[in-house]
Amino acid sequence: MIYPIVIYGHPVLKRVAPDISKEEYPHIKQIVNDMFDTMEVSHGVGLAAPQIGLSARIFVVNGNPLKEDYPEMENFRKVFINAHITEYWGEEEIIEEGCLSIPGMHEDVSRKSNIRIEYLDEDWNFHTDVFSGYTARVIQHEYDHLDGILYVDRVSQLRKRLIKGKLNGIIKGNFDADYKTILSGQKLKTIEK
């Protein structure tokens, strides 16, 4: 199933998503597949569960569309469940980011170049991995969604003031997106766990 994307201003995007268990989520594989499908039709490279209205510690990444600019992301297709970043290190890098939940906007965001992350895969196997470069950036962006943080929360105070009007417009639905969306105040889709 393709889910609509929850848009900036909806409270589910500001919630800290809880860890999930095998018992609570017997249909996790279906949810993960639907998240990959939703991300692909929306032309995203990452999607976090709160963006489909599910407050749960799950995100997916598909780096393939970025392979021209970032060869290391070719065939990088991964799900992260109960993700917890345990270490950040290296240079602070400033790179422009966008987000399916904030259509039509891009802003510079500073992030660390390396991370260590603990997570489960869709078979509930535990992993701890180190990522760097653009992969680490995409993961940090998606991971932030699980903590109720959006990339626009990480821009400078000056930029925040400058983009406030545009963000207020997005809350009200003033944007173009070539995928289905849900605004604040609209009913979320029920997701079978």
Stretch that binds Zn ion, among 71-79, 96-104, 105-113, 129-137 (CB under 5 A): 96-104
Stretch that binds Zn ion, among 26-34, 77-85, 87-95, 99-107 (CB under 5 A): 99-107
Name the residue nearer to Zn ion (CB basis): 81 or 99: 99
Name the residue nearer to Zn ion (CB basis): 128 or 143: 143
Stretch that binds Zn ion, among 59-67, 98-106, 108-116, 123-131 (CB under 5 A): 98-106
Q: Tell me if 47 sits within 8 A of 38, measured CB to CB.
A: yes
**Catalytic residue set:** 142
Number of chain residues interacting with Zn ion (CB under 5 A): 1
Closest among 143, 147, 38 to 97, alpha carbons compared: 143
Query: What's the residue count for the chain?
Result: 193
Distance, in Å, from the CA atom of 16 to the CA atom of 18, rounded to the nearest integer, reads 6
State the minimum distance, in angstroms, from the CB of residue 12 to Zn ion: 13
Alpha helices in 42-175 (DSSP H): 133-146, 157-171
Residue whose tokens read 């390396």:
114
Is residue 6 part of the contact set for Zn ion (CB under 5 A)? no
Is residue 155 part of the contact set for Zn ion (CB under 5 A)? no
Name the residue nearer to Zn ion (CB basis): 99 or 115: 99
Q: Tell me if 150 sits within 8 A of 8, measured CB to CB.
A: yes
Q: What contacts 111, CB < 8 A, 6 or more positions away?
A: 92, 93, 95, 136, 137, 140, 154
Is residue 99 part of the contact set for Zn ion (CB under 5 A)? yes
- Return the beta strands (E) in the chain as ranges: 5-6, 46-48, 58-62, 77-97, 107-120, 126-132, 181-182
Name the residue nearer to Zn ion (CB basis): 22 or 77: 77
Is residue 61 part of the contact set for Zn ion (CB under 5 A)? no
Name the residue nearer to Zn ion (CB basis): 24 or 159: 159
- Which residue type sits at 20? I
- Rg (the chain; Cα; Å): 16
Is residue 7 part of the contact set for Zn ion (CB under 5 A)? no
State the minimum distance, in angstroms, from the CB of residue 105 to Zn ion: 11
Name the site residues for Zn ion (rule: CB under 5 A).
99
